[in-house]
Each structure stands twice: as structure tokens, then as C-alpha cells.
């Protein structure tokens, strides 16, 4: 991806309502920022000012170091910055200072103390546009705790277990769809990008597994969450209005708002700009919220019914309003489908790159029954290890941000040599200090996982000596679902979906890299996506053929 990609929100259609004077607007904003110190830009401690980090380029007064990151969307940390250690400082738009860290002790502390480190305004703004201001993932403090208490019963282990039959049914539909795509040459055009001549292999088909994993996860959330089947797994219905397709448009629109949202964090008045991205996001969110208005059955076990029943039984001010209930289900529909689909896609990609691991995992799943019960599928060791390893390398939440709500001292597991010669073992910060946290970098630390930390190796998870340090996470010793009070509430459902889909697909198909060898990239932004370099939109094209003996 070129540096121009980072500037796309300023140059593309998203700014068509702003006009040619956009650069002048940005310069004007900068002068305003220089005249008044905004509340989110604290007078940093001497230790923060002396943190190691990149120098400001000549255009740093406008873009800071953001252009340097444009070609490193996998880690969102420039590779050159690793030489300075696990914690440093860079500049965002208009020379706003950002502390970046992937120090395990610092991240554990930040996630465990949400009242001291809350989501900053720019992150809450863009999440609020997508999921609504009443969503769990937008709110902080007591309101967040109240919502979490109301939601917990609907996401308990028992509630997730009851969803297993619906997930198996949808996984079976995905198998049937893949078989049709392989057998019917007339469906070749169903791919977003036509196959190159060398990708036309007899008995196999180029299939965008990310697209269809997204269709499946959207259907699963519909059935398990609302008792509503979106019927997305059909070549006959692939219109742009299909909810799964609109999710892709929503992610692209949200990614296009990242720089604009950074600017809004400096001057909130910019939040009034009527961009194309805002329009798309509003349309899709409205569709998601309308789906939450369906009636519920007193005996039903879908997530919405469980939430409504639990909410009805809640007393006093702990009760959720109807708008809050709708917002939670809209959030689940979006977040629970896109992130899970990306993880499934990256697993299949890693198994296609390393067929020896694919064969080992296939042997494990073929040794069990066709649709094993909850306890059996959760006890398969290699299936578990493959998922953990993929989540370690490709976390669906690859990064997040926090802002300090008071002056405090942040613990560190690794000392920081400062630019002024001092060495510190803890970092004093002021209220308003902005933290960029990279879970990708944390998950790949050699000090935690060994010298092969950048490699896909599921066997590492059988080593009792690993990880060597505490990893902030709720599952599998990886930080992919974050940790603490703001950890992903739906991680159990996501893990079960991933296990069932992998189990089912590997019993029927083989997955290989395409002969044309497209450059698959891990694109980290609001939602992590696999992408092909030079092609727009999220996708994971693989060569899929029926498993020998099942034709």
C-alpha cells in the first residue's frame, strides 16, 4: 500500500462535500491548535517528552508521523521503531503526541483499570457512528458496567452451547455452496475478481473465503441472535443490499474516516461534516437496529430473547432501555460477523501456506464424528492450538487506544532508555495522555514466544514454558480479545463458530494458495481484514478443491 492510501480520506469522494479548500482548512486548524492547547493534548511529563521515537518529518506539523505508517498496516508500528524498545512516542495529526506501547505489564495494567484509562474521544466517535451511542463498546464507567451486567447471561457458556446446532447447520450450507462453486463453471463470475489464467485449475476453484465466511457469520448471528435467517449463503442472492455485503461497505467507509476522526478529536466541530462514509454507516446501522425490533418468544434461547428476558427481570436503574437493547444487538451483528470471518480466513490462509499442518488438523477432525457435541469439539487439542496460533499472529482487534483520566505512574516490564540519558522502570503520565496499544506487536514478542515468534507454529501452545510473561487476554494466552472489564463479551461464540467452520470445511475440502501468488496483506484498522495488494476491499482468495475421496 502506498503512502497515498493514508491520504485517501482527504482526496477521495468522502471529502467531496468539503471541496478544493480542504488543505487550507487543515492548515487553518493547525494554526488554531497552536493558539489554544486542546484538552486532550496534556503538558506531558519530562519522561514522556524524552521517550524514544521517530523524528518529525518536514511535513510533521500537519500529518506528524502518520505517513510513515501507511505502508505498515499489519502492525501499525513502523519496523524501524522496534529498535527503541516496547514503549515510545510518535506524533499524529497536527503534532499531537501519542505514546505507543506493547509492553505486557503496561498493557495488562491499562486494560485492568478502565476508569484510569478510557477510550479516547476519537475512538468513541467512530465506534459511536457505527454502533450507536448506546452501544457497550462506546460507553465507559458505570453505564458500561450496567450494560455488561445485563448482557452477561446472554453470553454465558451455557447460552453459547445452545447455539451449536445452528452453527453446524450453517457450516453445512457453506459446504454445499463451495461444492456448487467448484462444480459449476457458470458460477466463476461470483468471485469479486476473476481468476487469472493460471488460477483456473481443473477440479478446483478460486474462492474468496473471506466473503463467504462473512456471509456465514452474519447468518449465524441472525439465527443465534434474532432467530432470523438472512440466507446469505446463496449465489442467487448476491445483491449490494445483502446485509453481509453492506457490512463490507461499512468497514471500508469506517476505515476511510480514520484520519477525519483524528482531526475531529482536535476540533469537535469537524464532526458535523456530512461525508459519504457517514451516510453509508448510518444506513447500515439503521438496518441493524431495525432487525432488533423483532418480537421475542418467552421460551426462545436466541441472544435477543435471553437479553430481553434478563433485562425484564432487572430492577431499578440497572434496566436497559429499548434503544440500549437495540444498540447491543446491532453491535453484536457487526462486530461478531466481521472479526470472526477475518479469523477464519487467516486460519485457512496459514493452513494453505503450510499443508503439513493442514493435513495434521484434517486427520484430527476426520477421526471424530461428523457433528461432535460441544464438549468433544472443544477438547480437540490441535484444532485449539491452530486457532490460538492464528489469533496470536492475526488478532481481530489488532490495536486499540486509551487516554489517561488522571495523573499516574504506569508500570513497565522492560526499562526504557530515554533520549536525555535517563533509564526508567515506570512511566509517569499526565491526565489526557494518549496511548496507542498494538496487540499484534505484543503477540509477536520473542521474549514471550521464542525466536520463531513471527512464524506460524501451533506446536508452541503445547509447551508449558510458554508464554514466558503474562499476556493480557481472556482466551488462549493471546491478547486478541483484549482483557479486563472491556474484554470482548462475545469471544466464546466467536471461538465456537471458528471451530465448527474449520472442523466442517476440512472434512470436505483442501485449501491451497493460488498459482498466481497474490500478495495477501493483513490490513489493520477499525476492523482487521485480509486484503490483496493492489485490489480494493477485504478478500482472501484461495484455491479450493474437494477432498479426495469425497468427490
Residue 461's CATH number: 1.10.630.10
The Cα–Cα gap between 529 and 323 comes to 30
> 159 CB contacts (<8 Å, ≥6 apart)?
153, 301, 303, 306
Q: Kindly state whether residue 155 falls inside one of the protein's structural domains.
A: yes
Angstrom distances, CA of residue 397 to CA of 127, 473, 481, 539: 13, 11, 7, 18
Helix %, strand %, coil % of the chain (to 5): 50, 10, 35
CB 25 within 8 A of CB 61: no
Helix (H, G, I), strand (E, B) or coil at 286: helix
The Cα–Cα gap between 540 and 551 comes to 24
List the beta bridge partners of residue 101: 87, 437
The Cα–Cα gap between 74 and 522 comes to 5
Consult the annotation and say whether 488 binds a ligand. Answer: yes
Supply the pLDDT for residue 377: 97
The Cα–Cα gap between 265 and 261 comes to 6
List the beta bridge partners of residue 522: 530
Q: Kindly state whether residue 373 falls inside one of the protein's structural domains.
A: yes
The Cα–Cα gap between 461 and 467 comes to 8
Q: What is the DSSP letter of 367?
A: T
CA atoms within 13 A on the CB side of 35: 7
> 37 CB contacts (<8 Å, ≥6 apart)?
43
Classify the C-alpha dihedral 380-381-383-388 as positive or negative. positive
Average pLDDT per consecutive 10 residues, the chain (551 residues; last block may be shorter): 32 40 60 50 85 80 76 79 92 85 96 95 78 86 90 88 94 96 84 85 94 91 81 68 61 58 59 60 62 54 70 67 77 82 97 98 96 97 98 90 96 96 97 93 95 97 94 91 92 96 98 96 79 87 88 61
Alpha helix segments (H runs only) across 404-516: 439-443, 446-449, 491-506
Q: Kindly state whether residue 510 falls inside one of the protein's structural domains.
A: yes
Angstrom distances, CA of residue 362 to CA of 41, 204, 544: 53, 18, 15
CA atoms within 13 A on the CB side of 57: 11
**Maximum CA extent, the chain:** 72
Supply the pLDDT for residue 473: 92
Closest CA to 98 of 167, 51, 36: 51
Q: Are strands 509-512 and 541-546 parallel, antiparallel or unpaired?
A: antiparallel
Q: Report the interhelical angle of 322-353 vs 491-506 (nearest 10°).
A: 40
Q: Kindly state whether residue 551 falls inside one of the protein's structural domains.
A: no
Cell of 59: 511535513
Supply the pLDDT for residue 258: 56
CB 286 within 8 A of CB 131: no
CB 97 within 8 A of CB 41: yes
Tell me the whole-structure pTM to 2 decimals: 0.86
Secondary structure (DSSP) of 301-358? -SHHHHHHHHHHH--GGGPPPHHHHHHHHHHHHHHHHHHHHHHHHHHHHHHHH-HHHH
Phi, psi of 416 (to 5 degrees): -115, 120
Task: Compute the chain's Rg from CA coordinates.
Answer: 23
Domain, as residue range, for 56: 3-546
The Cα–Cα gap between 550 and 155 comes to 37
Q: Are strands 434-438 and 509-512 parallel, antiparallel or unpaired?
A: unpaired
Q: Report the interhelical angle of 243-255 vs 209-221 (nearest 10°).
A: 110
Cell of 316: 431499578
CA geometry: angle 64, 65, 67, nearest 5 deg: 105
Angstrom distances, CA of residue 66 to CA of 3, 61, 504: 9, 11, 42
How many separate domains does the chain show? 1
Q: Kindly state whether residue 232 falls inside one of the protein's structural domains.
A: yes
Supply the pLDDT for residue 57: 73
CB 62 within 8 A of CB 94: yes
> 69 CB contacts (<8 Å, ≥6 apart)?
6, 76, 77, 78
The Cα–Cα gap between 250 and 424 comes to 43
Supply the pLDDT for residue 28: 64
Amino acid at each position: 500500500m502506498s503512502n497515498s492510501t493514508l491520504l485517501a480520506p482527504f482526496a477521495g469522494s468522502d471529502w467531496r462535500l468539503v471541496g478544493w479548500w480542504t488543505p487550507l482548512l487543515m492548515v487553518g486548524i493547525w494554526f488554531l491548535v497552536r493558539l489554544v492547547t486542546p484538552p486532550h493534548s496534556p503538558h506531558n511529563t519530562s519522561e514522556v517528552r524524552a521517550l524514544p521515537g521517530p523524528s518529525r518529518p518536514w511535513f510533521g506539523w500537519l500529518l506528524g508521523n502518520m505517513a510513515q505508517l501507511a505502508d505498515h498496516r499489519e502492525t501499525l508500528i513502523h519496523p524501524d521503531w522496534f529498535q527503541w524498545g516496547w514503549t515510545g512516542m510518535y506524533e499524529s495529526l497536527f503534532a499531537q503526541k501519542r505514546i505507543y506501547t506493547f509492553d505486557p505489564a503496561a498493557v495488562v495494567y491499562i486494560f485492568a483499570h478502565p476508569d484510569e484509562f478510557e477510550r479516547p474521544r476519537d475512538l468513541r466517535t467512530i465506534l459511536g457512528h457505527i454502533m450507536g451511542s448506546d452501544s457497550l463498546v462506546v460507553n465507559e464507567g458505570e453505564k458500561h458496567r450496567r450494560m455488561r451486567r445485563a448482557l452477561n447471561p446472554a453470553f454465558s457458556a451455557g447460552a453459547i452451547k445452545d447455539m451449536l446446532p445452528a452453527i453446524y447447520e450453517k457450516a453445512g450450507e457453506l459446504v454445499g455452496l463451495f461444492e456448487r462453486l467448484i462444480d459449476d463453471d457458470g458460477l466463476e463470475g461470483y468471485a469479486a475478481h476473476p481468476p487469472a489464467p493460471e488460477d483456473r485449475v481443473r477440479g478446483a476453484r478460486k474462492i474468496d473465503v473471506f466473503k463467504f465466511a462473512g456471509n456465514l457469520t452474519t447468518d449465524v448471528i441472525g439465527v443465534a441472535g434474532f432467530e432470523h435467517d438472512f440466507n446469505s449463503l446463496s449465489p442467487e442472492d448476491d445483491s449490494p443490499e445483502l446485509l453481509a455485503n453492506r457490512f463490507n461497505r461499512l468497514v471500508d467507509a469506517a476505515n476511510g474516516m480514520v484520519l477525519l476522526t483524528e482531526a475531529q478529536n482536535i476540533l469537535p466541530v469537524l464532526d458535523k461534516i456530512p461525508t459519504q462514509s457517514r451516510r453509508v454507516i448510518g444506513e447500515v446501522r439503521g438496518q441493524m437496529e431495525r432487525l432488533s425490533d423483532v418480537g421475542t418468544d418467552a421460551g426462545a434461547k436466541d441472544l435477543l430473547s435471553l437479553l430481553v428476558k434478563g433485562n425484564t427481570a432487572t430492577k431499578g436503574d440497572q434496566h436497559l432501555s429499548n434503544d440500549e437493547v437495540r444498540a447491543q444487538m446491532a453491535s453484536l451483528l457487526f462486530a461478531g460477523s466481521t472479526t470472526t470471518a477475518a479469523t477464519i480466513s487467516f486460519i485457512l490462509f496459514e493452513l494453505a501456506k503450510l499443508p503439513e499442518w493442514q493435513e495434521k488438523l484434517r486427520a484430527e477432525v476426520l477421526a471424530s464424528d461428523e457433528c461432535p457435541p460441544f464438549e468433544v469439539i472443544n477438547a480437540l487439542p490441535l484444532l485449539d492450538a491452530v486457532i490460538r496460533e492464528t489469533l496470536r499472529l492475526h488478532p481481530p482487534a489488532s490495536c486499540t487506544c486509551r487516554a489517561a483520566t488522571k495523573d499516574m505512574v504506569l508500570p513497565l516490564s522492560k526499562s526504557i532508555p530515554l533520549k536525555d540519558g535517563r533509564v526508567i522502570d515506570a512511566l509517569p503520565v499526565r491526565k489526557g495522555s494518549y496511548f496507542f496499544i498494538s496487540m499484534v506487536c505484543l503477540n509477536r514478542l520473542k521474549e514471550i514466544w521464542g525466536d520463531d515468534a513471527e512464524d506460524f507454529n501451533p506446536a508452541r501452545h503445547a509447551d508449558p514454558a510458554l508464554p514466558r510473561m503474562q499476556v493480557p487476554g481472556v482466551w488462549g494466552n493471546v491478547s486478541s480479545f483484549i482483557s479486563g472489564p472491556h474484554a470482548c463479551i462475545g469471544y466464546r461464540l466467536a471461538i465456537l463458530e471458528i471451530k465448527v467452520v474449520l472442523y466442517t470445511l476440512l472434512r470436505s475440502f483442501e485449501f491451497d494458495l493460488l498459482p498466481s501468488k497474490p500478495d495477501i496483506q493483513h490490513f489493520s484498522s477499525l476492523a482487521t481484514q485480509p486484503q490483496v495488494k493492489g485490489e480494493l476491499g477485504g478478500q482472501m482468495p484461495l484455491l479450493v478443491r474437494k477432498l479426495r475421496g469425497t468427490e
